Structure 1
């Protein structure tokens, strides 16, 4: 793949010109049938945002996307892409280390999240190569993207348990921090994900409304947390402290120690004055 990807990258870079179609935008929608006069075989788009969407109608030849955050000091550590359900007509590659790496094949599982580390300060360069065998009149490529910062817990190896330092940092920087019990774990091979259903939850922090209150009678919080299927997550008794990142309106697990184990760790770290932030244990 590396030799083929490297050759494809050099070919596309040779065809690309310096012009771009849009600037300082989060999202882009365009057609492979309508091209800039000087764009050449590779249409180019520049987006300056940490999250947005792309929709390429009638995909033809190739499209190059340069994605950068709109804050100059930001250093994205990873790029995540989630294709729309009806996305068809092109494969998606990401440039890393001077080569193109395949991120998403044409017609791959709908709504599956794909993530890959980036070159940091350079943002992310994404190539969409249209499938010449498909009928472009019935095709449209669409996906949402997110550029994750270096502090994001999503850049950690998804299935590796957190060590003490990572756990103490996770309670300070995660998009959500929730204490609760596991009601059920469901597995979805078509999306390559497992979903943890959390009940009797106490929400310490969440970036959006991933966790919601149960009916007024109970008043407790309830929600779902995603993990890669390969992690083989199983239900267990007791209370856990769930932390992680939110991507495309979904919660993704980072660290999940048993709450009693976290309490012991937190007390020890506080006595040693090694806690990065205060945390309410009640």
Structure 2
């Protein structure tokens, strides 16, 4: 079962990696196997959230933003498969904060008792776009519920990673006490079920830097990971770190779905190339 860490222990581990010149890597896992492999590969954090289960079913992860299932039920079910495969890497629970029936404090306590060492806001309404996100906010189901999740987790001294999609969101989450920000550019490009048209690598990296600037205006010590959009492989992830102040990368489809697709297609083709005589 995954080892549980305190917020202070995680921060010490992460700062140690940064001081040694190594980037932070958070791996979003949709199965026990990929979580197990990510730990063996040296991931610093393993995220468990509803979007990952869809991509590993061969379905676009955007399904997590449509009203066909419950994100927190997915989290609990996935945890039964993933937490037992991870031994010494802090696991982060992606919590859907928007459910009006959710007892946030009790749920935070529950995921910690299960073995999670931290929490993040996933899914997040920023992906819906300004109009729908504003409608959700007016209904009491918007970004402010995600901010409240991070604020309450920090009050309980639980490690937090906050996904943000704009400088304004970055500033707000920094004020809420987030330990790490995930600068989200959008759905990851590439592969069989990824986005085909995204903003340029240069523009995406500039957008990341704007989010970093806003967050550090509140908390100069806050650290940021890049994710999504054109950041879809090692080379583009490296670019996003090199040309911004980010200290690491959060892989989702780029660490799990796309490599799996490529490996299975390749090995199947190789088997089909065998001869019967």
Task: Report the structure, 1 or 2, having the larger helix content.
Answer: 2
Same fold by TM (over 0.5)? Answer: no
Task: Report the structure, 1 or 2, having the larger strand content.
Answer: 1
Query: Which gives a bigger RCO, structure 1 or 2 (Cα 8 Å, sep 6+)?
Result: 2
Please report the TM-score for the alignment, with normalisation by the length of structure 1.
0.26
Please report the TM-score for the alignment, with normalisation by the length of structure 2.
0.26
Who wins on radius of gyration, i.e. which is larger?
A: 1
